Amino acid sequence: MKNHTVTTIKPSTKNATYMSNKKTKTITALAGFFLIDPIRDEANKVVDSVLIPIIAWTVRENSYTTPITIFSSKEDNFLILTPDGRVFDELETEYPSIQHWIGFKNAGIE
């Protein structure tokens, strides 16, 4: 049973810096967006997370948006923390907080 909503992540383009080619655009990220790197225990349960600042977004022709950090770009299986504390996965599923996402993940709710 799903108790969460689906919302599309739309990064702001106001005052953004663009780099583009024919198929993608790179947009500078606004402050406060983080890539969440889950930390798991031996039983594969999420016990904590590391927050990595997002410095830019890659926007594809089909509007699919992926984060870029100082370490790499992330094409799939990513989690985004927004400035207001909400969490989005790559399927654009919204969770109210990191703690809610951890609860869903550890309970096996997808």
The confidence score (pLDDT) of residue 65 equals 82
pLDDT tens figures, 13-26: 444 444 545 578 88
Cβ neighbour number for residue 4 with a 10 Å cutoff: 15
Enter the pTM of the model: 0.72
Kindly state the greatest CA–CA separation across the chain: 45
How crowded is residue 56: how many other Cβ atoms within 10 Å of its Cβ?
22
Please tell me the predicted confidence (pLDDT) of residue 86.
96
Q: Is the pLDDT of residue 9 over 90?
A: no
Q: Per residue in 29-87, pLDDT tens?
A: 999 999 999 999 999 999 999 999 999 998 887 777 888 998 866 565 689 999 999 99
Cβ distance 49 to 98 under 8 Å?
A: yes
Domain ranges of the chain: 18-107
